[in-house]
Amino acid sequence: MSKKTNAQPPEKLTGIELKEIPKSSVGPKAIATALGHIKNEVGVVKGIRLLKNLNQKYGFDCPGCAWPDPDEKRAFLAEYCENGAKAVAEEATKNKVSPLFFSTYSVSNLAKLSDYEIGKKGRITHPVYLPEGANYYKEISWQDAFKLIADELNVLDSPDEAVFYTSGRTSNEAAFLYQLFVRQYGTNNLPDCSNMCHESSGAALSETLGIGKGSVTLDDFNHTDLIIVIGQNPGTNHPRMLTALGEAKKKGSKIITINPLPEVGLMNFKEPQNPLKWLGSGQDLTDLFLQVKINGDVALLKIILKLMLEQEENVPYSVFDYQFIKDKTYGIEDLLDDLETYSIDYLLPQTGLTLQEIKKAADLIINNKKIIICWAMGITQHKNSVDNIREIVNILLLKGSIGKKGAGTCPVRGHSNVQGDRTVGIWEKMPQSFLDNLEKEFKFKVPRKHGFDVVDSIEAMHKKKAKVFFGMGGNFISATPDTEYTATALRNCNLTVHVSTKLNRSHLIHGKKALILPCLGRSEKDYQSSGEQFVSVENSMGVVHKSKGHLKPCSEDLLSEAAIVAGLANATLKKSTIDWSKLVSNYDYIRDKIEAVIPGFDNYNERVRIDGGFYLPNNARDNDFKNTFTGKANFSVNLPSDIVLKDNQFMMMTIRTHDQYNTTIYGLNDRYRGVLNERRVIFMNADDMKSLGLEKLDLVDLTSHFNDEKREAKGFLAIPYNIPKQCTATYFPEANVLVPIKSTAKISNTPTSKTVTISIQKR
């Protein structure tokens, strides 16, 4: 039976090769790698058509990252990056997972494969069903699939026994329809990938600035004095951001990088659009690199704040923007009082840096007025990650570096529409005003009780309080923490359903019954009864724009995500106040409803048709903070890390290689870190290796420690690396089994994927 299926990637090693770490990122090697993926997965002719339409105003939005497209100039065939090309190659692959495939390969055998091997099987072509006790998925009609889900949903004691997850690729239209169905069904159980991603940013920014999104636009990078990139690896995860950083540097901006690793992309970069420069030495991006210890950021930012205060006391009016502080902010006294209670001597060891290095950073902040701070998962996935972000905001507020050209907050989002999904209602705790509007527009009683986030959902399924899991995209088992615990949670369910493009491990770790519903991808044409449709998405900077696929769908039996929601709603809701079939017949009708419910979408259908789309309102960008709890931008008081490592314990962060998209593994190389053909590795400081008696490429087992609990992951190769002492790094998702379900961030409840306490045992 499939009960014994592997929830974790198998332990087997793939034959590591260590290479010298390259000096710069992108350049010709990146282009060659991108085209290689396109050629192998898609073929040359279709591949060129794909790339031609990627991120063009008439084309489709890259499913890679949420970095914005230039508002004006877009180079033909060039607004993509190596990893964007890999992302579309993955989706447009020639390989197919058909009903015949499923009758050949059992679930338990597929689960023995690595995530890389599973992903390479290709696109799913038909809806398939795994009955209770069976080991093979078999074809099912769409109508029967909808009825099966409806039957399971309608026998639950309460709608709160079902969980509806979303991954951040779903379009605004599909996401709005989905949350509408879920709320009319009767629950706010709408966890999403954001719970594991930028939830901490949303929490910290809403409290301090009154909006859970970043404040800068792409153009701000052309007008800034100083950019700080903290806890982010754009060379791999947002490669087009490097172009913006490069342009900013040419215009005179300085760049500070704060990271435990000297990530190649941030150090030196060769413009992909400029082959003439490929032979040269590239452009140095980072002016000052602070190699902070994992989770040493609050301590570091506090020292910077103390140095700013010291300078302001020495030379009054030289550092702080008093006008801004007086007019726009609240709570500076508490911040200054708090800073007095910490000594630099106490904070410094947490950072792993020298005071001289930190002074250089403080001087750059002191001497510049327009500052942008960018961050991603290195900041958001810790116990005190909300503190991290509020401390970032403290610095910007003291400098008045918010709501003016060239300055502000830049949380760089992950999934290409994760921000849009939130805007249109994918959240377990949408504000009352949204729920009120929904109720008014659709005339049904909208549930008000907050729903489960990702961690709550796992715990509820584990306790059998939630019994049906529905995933709109994503790969829940591999993306979530505590793999074995989560596997039990999913297996406890009566039914697990996944709307997916490609096969993944979540199809193999399933409830008593399971369904896979295959959907159209971004790059594919979407026809509904009124004709061809387009969708829209919101990027990291709040621009809503259209996205239209150009390829023939990989199978005739796919439905769009919106059509799947409509089918499900028609089957499940006996009496509905909503005409689901009409809404989905023409996505303009869905957009009209979004406009009616959510402020900022005025004339949605008209404005989304304008090339490049439109900006949503952003109060922080406009320097208006009246919707915070004090009516002003709030300073805050924050706590540094409280982790105390015992002897022979280490801090572990789980990070992405250059060859993956979250749980989708494109290949086995991490070129920019010099590791080829292996993912089961642990990066360690050479002195730490010596003190454990470890040689390069020794095989080790890892144990994580949380309260009195232990978790194990076996078989990793130790690699000496330029990383601070007591810090280590492994790859996500191989190491997720070590992340304890109860180890989450305060306030945001995000799993602490970047701070796991481990010990290391030599084999």
Ligand X SMILES: Nc1nc2c(c(=O)[nH]1)N[C@H]1C(S)=C(S)[C@@H](COP(=O)(O)OP(=O)(O)OC[C@H]3O[C@@H](n4cnc5c(=O)[nH]c(N)nc54)[C@H](O)[C@@H]3O)O[C@H]1N2
Q: Which residues bind ligand X (CB under 6 A)?
A: 63-65, 83, 167, 169, 193, 196-197, 230-233, 236-238, 258-261, 263, 292, 294-295, 297, 376-378, 414-415, 472-476, 479, 499-502, 504, 519, 521-522, 561, 653-656, 660-664, 732, 736, 739, 753-754
CB of 66 to Mo ion, least distance (A): 9
Query: Closer CB to ligand X, residue 248 or residue 292?
Result: 292
Q: How far is the CB of 662 from ligand X (least distance, A)?
A: 3
Q: Which is nearer to ligand X, 224 or 736 (CB)?
A: 736
Q: Which is nearer to ligand X, 264 or 633 (CB)?
A: 264
Amino acid found at 258 = I
Question: Coil, helix or strand for 77?
Answer: coil
> Among residues 306 and 522, whose Cβ is nearest to Mo ion?
522
Order of strands, edge to edge, in the sheet holding 283-284? 25-26, 268-270, 283-284
d(CA 753, CA 733): 10
The string of DSSP letters for 229-252 reads EES--HHHH-THHHHHHHHHHHTT
Min CB(439)–ligand X separation in Å: 28
Beta carbon of residue 231, minimum distance to ligand X (angstroms, whole number):
3
* Spatial separation of the C-alpha atoms in residues 689 and 694, rounded to whole Å: 5
Q: Is 521 helix (H, G, I), strand (E, B) or coil?
A: coil
246 binds Mo ion (CB under 5 A): no
- Least CB distance to ligand X at residue 577 (A): 26
- Pick one of ligand X, Mo ion, none as the site partner of residue 423 (Cβ within 5 to 8 A by kind): none
Nearer to ligand X, 56 or 167 (CB): 167
Q: Which of Mo ion, ligand X, none interacts with 64 (beta carbon under 5 to 8 A by kind)? A: ligand X
217 binds, among Mo ion, ligand X, none (CB under 5 to 8 A by kind): none
What residues have CB less than 8 Å from 461, skipping those under 6 apart?
163, 467, 469, 489, 490, 492, 493
Q: How far is the CB of 215 from ligand X (least distance, A)?
A: 19
Closer by beta carbon to ligand X, 610 or else 645: 645
Length of the chain as a residue count: 763
Q: Beta-carbon neighbour count of residue 434 at 10 Å? A: 18
Cβ closer to Mo ion: 197 or 304? Answer: 197
Identify whether the C-beta of residue 678 lies closer than 8 Å to the C-beta of residue 14. Answer: yes
Q: Would you count residue 474 as binding Mo ion (CB under 5 A)?
A: no
Query: Which helix (H) or strand (E) element contains residue 256?
Result: strand 254-258
**Residue 489, binding choice from Mo ion, ligand X, none, Cβ under 5 to 8 Å by partner class:** none
Residue 753 contact partner, candidates ligand X, Mo ion, none, CB within 5 to 8 A by sort of partner = ligand X
Q: Least CB distance from residue 572 to ligand X, whole Å?
A: 19
Q: Are strands 128-130 and 513-518 parallel, antiparallel or unpaired?
A: antiparallel
For residues 471 and 497, the answer to whether their CB atoms sit within 8 Å is yes
Longest CA–CA separation in the chain, Å: 76
By C-beta, is 253 or 736 nearer to ligand X? 736
Q: Which two tokens stand for residue 653?
A: 């962060």
The DSSP letter of residue 86 is H
How many CB atoms lie under 10 A from the CB of residue 143?
A: 12
How many residues touch Mo ion under the rule CB under 5 A: the total is: 2
Least spacing, CB of residue 380 vs Mo ion, in Å: 9
How many angstroms separate the CA atoms of 212 and 191, rounded? Answer: 17
490 binds, among Mo ion, ligand X, none (CB under 5 to 8 A by kind): none
Q: Which residues between 388 and 447 bind Mo ion (CB under 5 A)?
A: 414
Nearer to ligand X, 236 or 401 (CB): 236
Q: Work out how close the CB of 413 gets to Mo ion at its nearest, in angstroms, rounded to a whole number.
A: 7
Cα–Cα distance between 504 and 474 in angstroms, integer? 9
Site string for Mo ion, 184-203 (x = CB under 5 A): -------------x------
SS (H, E, C) 366-409: HHCCCEEEEECHHHHCCCCHHHHHHHHHHHHHHCCCCCCCCCEE
Nearer to ligand X, 249 or 754 (CB): 754
Q: Give every CB contact of residue 123 below 8 A, 6+ residues apart in sequence.
A: 91, 93, 95, 96, 97, 501, 502, 518, 521, 554, 555
> 474 or 640, CB closer to ligand X?
474
Gap between the Cα atoms of 291 and 306, Å rounded: 19
Q: Report the nearest approach of ligand X to the CB of residue 445 (Å).
A: 29
CB of 718 to ligand X, least distance (A): 18
Q: Which is nearer to ligand X, 198 or 607 (CB)?
A: 198
Q: Between β-strands 531-533 and 526-528, what pairing exists: parallel, antiparallel or unpaired?
A: antiparallel
| Cβ neighbours of residue 345 closer than 8 Å, sequence gap 6 or more | none
CB of 665 to Mo ion, least distance (A): 16
Helix orientation angle between 27-41 and 44-53, rounded to the nearest 10 degrees = 120
Q: Which does 514 bind (CB under 5 to 8 A by kind): ligand X, Mo ion, none?
A: none
Residues within the interface to Mo ion (CB under 5 A): 197, 414
